[in-house]
Structure 1
Amino acid sequence: MIVLSANTVSALGGHDILRAIDDVRRTTALFAAGDAGMDAENSVPLAPEAGPHARAYALPAWVGGDYQAAGVKWTAHRQIRPTEEGASVSMTLVNDRRSGALLGAVESDGLTHARTAAVSGVAVGAFRPAGVRHALVIGGGANAHAHVDMASVALPGLQTLAVWSRDPAQAQTLRATHADDPRLHVATSLDDAIGAADTVFCCTSSVEPFIMQRHVRPGLTFVQAGHHEVEFDAITQFDHITGDRWGSFAERSGKSLFRLYRAGGFPRACLDADLTDAVSNAWQAPPQDSLYFSSFGLNIFDIALAARVLKDAIAGGAF
């Protein structure tokens, strides 16, 4: 069986944001056409030593088209971990959908961050066709790094890119790894940074909200690619609420929007648009309106990206 390490995945283009954006677009179109699908996640708790909310998840999906893959991503999310490790660790197992033959397993943390950032880029590009000029990335971990990568290459009108983290050292590290981009700077005040941005990418693992109603203003685009950073009153303050997809995961997910739904504060029917609308250019937000996008993370993308990397490895004769 082929097993691809994170370094090999990266060398094969698995962390390439523009290729991930292409995967997200194509897979979303397949999903809309009924040629991709996913089942509900299953999860088991981890030991208390991994954190109060630590769980491991199995995320199955299949994708047709040129991918012809079925698989499952196994990922553990923890709050307590070694400082050199991320909040999640994951591996994706992929089978050929036509024969059932095992293609291999892929170390998936980098793929997850690439597809998450790619989803953000696709959504913002479609729902805000006028473009992004002043962006803010909130966070300092791998998800934030991927969003800085995405903003740098996929937002052509970008003029300034701020980063802010609850841990200032992480923000400085992020800035140092992108030292060749003169648009990037570290923000010291969250309120000021949001006030100066037209688009915010929130990429933390916080379980306590710190984005408040006062942060919402006309014309703001807010992408929540993290966990539970946004208070309920802030979400309902937005003129338009969108997401990558609504599914049974809304009954269990810790994401802010789905917590609001379970608390009775947001009917499912009120979702203005999802990624299928983005890919088909079926919906756009008026420029003066505020827009919230909740990115859950669809497992069809995990399987598509992993299948692409595995097939490239096989085609290249590396295995």
Structure 2
Amino acid sequence: MLTLGNGDVRRILDGREKEVLNVVREAYLRHADEQTSLPHSVFLRFPDDTRNRIIGLPAYLGGPRPLAGMKWIASFPGNVANGLERASAAIILNSMQTGQPVALVEGSTISARRTAASAALAAAALPPADGRETGVALIGCGVINFEVLRFLLAVRPELADITVFDLDAGRAEAFRDRSAAEFGGDGRVVRVAESVEAALSAHRLVSLATTAGVPHLDLRDCRPGTLVLGVSLRDVTVEGVLQAVNVVDDPDHVCRAATSVHLAETRVGDRSFIHGTLGELLREESPGHRDERRPTLFSPFGLGVLDLALAGLVLSEARVAGIGTEVTGFLPEPQASGATAAS
């Protein structure tokens, strides 16, 4: 079994945003074409602890090189104050011939970049009706929104005005400085908004990637025609959801676990307010356009097939480049043909 650590994964994926976008796009299309198996995610929560959780995402992705496996991802927001990343993850890939595990891949970078690629694909598939968009607001200054910015610039390099906001002013300033250092070429300007309301109204493209557990934004401060990338899923109030054009990755998955979309479904009793999926949009030969009068909200639950797709890319490239550590003796030794299995 091959093990690939975070450094290995980053070495393979860094600078390959276009390829990552293509892999994630293909996974969405295969899911839309029912070439996947995607059981609901399993949420492990703890007594007297409503903040921390670990989620298991089993999945199968069909195609010429089918993949099966599972991502096991922990979210412990308190880690940030101790200098650790909020999320940590491991991805197991299994052989489709034997079912045996063939790789253990560190998954935090994969998880962040597939999430960011999803947001960027939505932004590319839903341009403004007038074709003009020069800025983006990022609310929540952590790892996810940094990757969202990276991938947005890969599909929308014209974004030159970047506004950021975080409840922790120090995090916002550090995010601004890092963004300016990495993406500040070509005349781009990165600034910190004074309030979340100011950030929401700054541009017609907004990414929400916070650790909020309950809805707190109604989108009234958004400009008409704004695309809100609701990556963190629990920021927007039910009223905000119902007043928006809603695009999701998968209705059955996103309408769970007290997401904003789930709460809206509970309120109205059906899913008629969901207007379509990203996979359907990606099938179209030309991009659609947003409603000019109200916000469009993209709510991606985060499908395990996306993690598999990127982990499969990492594993394939690692084998070619000789990257990673092969662990021997992890599985039982093969029995001789015809031997009796132990009871």
TM-score normalised by length of structure 1: 0.90
Query: What SS does the corresponding residue of 2:50 show, helix, strand or coil?
Result: coil
Residue in 2 that maps onto 1:146:
147
2:7 maps to amino acid: N
**Residues of 2 paired with 1:213 and 1:227: CA distance?**
14
Query: What SS does the corresponding residue of 2:118 show, helix, strand or coil?
Result: helix
Query: What SS does the corresponding residue of 1:31 show, helix, strand or coil?
Result: helix
**Does residue 244 of structure 1 match 2:249?**
yes
**1:173 CA drift (Å):** 1.2
Note the alpha carbon deviations across 1:104-155, whole angstroms, 9 max, x for none. Answer: 0111111111011100111111122636322101111111111121223221
**1:217 CA drift (Å):** 3.9
Note the alpha carbon deviations across 1:67-125, whole angstroms, 9 max, x for none. Answer: 42100011122343352223322110001324434320111111111011100111111
**Does residue 176 of structure 1 match 2:177?**
yes
Residue in 2 that maps onto 1:271:
274
2:288 maps to amino acid: Q
Query: What SS does the corresponding residue of 2:13 show, helix, strand or coil?
Result: coil
Deviation larger for 125-134 or 161-170: 125-134
**1:207 CA drift (Å):** 1.5
Change (3 A) 1:213 1:148: closer
Q: Is the 8 A contact 1:125 1:131 kept in 2?
A: no
**Residues of 2 paired with 1:90 and 1:47: CA distance?**
22
Note the alpha carbon deviations across 1:165-208, whole angstroms, 9 max, x for none. Answer: 11111111112222231332222232222212111000101123
**1:271 CA drift (Å):** 1.2
**Residues of 1 paired with 2:303 and 2:63: CA distance?**
17
Query: What SS does the corresponding residue of 1:254 show, helix, strand or coil?
Result: coil
**1:222 CA drift (Å):** 0.8
Query: What SS does the corresponding residue of 1:242 show, helix, strand or coil?
Result: strand
Identity %: 22
Residue in 1 that maps onto 2:288:
284
Residue in 2 that maps onto 1:45:
45
Query: What SS does the corresponding residue of 1:205 show, helix, strand or coil?
Result: coil
Residue in 2 that maps onto 1:62:
60
C-alpha RMSD of matched pairs (Å): 2.2
2:12 maps to amino acid: L
**1:61 CA drift (Å):** 0.5
Q: Is the 8 A contact 1:253 1:259 kept in 2?
A: no
2:170 maps to amino acid: A
Q: Is the 8 A contact 1:242 1:273 kept in 2?
A: yes
**1:17 CA drift (Å):** 3.2
Change (3 A) 1:91 1:47: farther
Query: What SS does the corresponding residue of 1:80 show, helix, strand or coil?
Result: helix
**1:19 CA drift (Å):** 2.5
Deviation larger for 241-250 or 19-28: 241-250
Q: Is the 8 A contact 1:40 1:249 kept in 2?
A: no
**Residues of 1 paired with 2:66 and 2:18: CA distance?**
21
Residue in 1 that maps onto 2:265:
261
1:313 maps to amino acid: A
Q: Of residues 237, 251, 260 in structure 2, which corresponds to 1:231?
A: 237
2:56 maps to amino acid: A
Q: Of residues 206, 231, 245 in structure 2, which corresponds to 1:200?
A: 206
2:289 maps to amino acid: A
Change (3 A) 1:68 1:131: farther
Q: Of residues 63, 74, 77 in structure 1, which corresponds to 2:75?
A: 77
Query: What SS does the corresponding residue of 1:7 show, helix, strand or coil?
Result: helix
Q: Of residues 308, 331, 340 in structure 2, which corresponds to 1:303?
A: 308
**1:244 CA drift (Å):** 1.2
Note the alpha carbon deviations across 1:242-282, whole angstroms, 9 max, x for none. Answer: 111111552x32321112222x2362233111111121127
State how many pairs are aligned. Answer: 314
Q: Is the 8 A contact 2:254 2:299 kept in 1?
A: no
**1:298 CA drift (Å):** 0.7
Deviation larger for 274-283 or 301-310: 274-283
- Unaligned 5+ residue runs, structure 2? 325-343
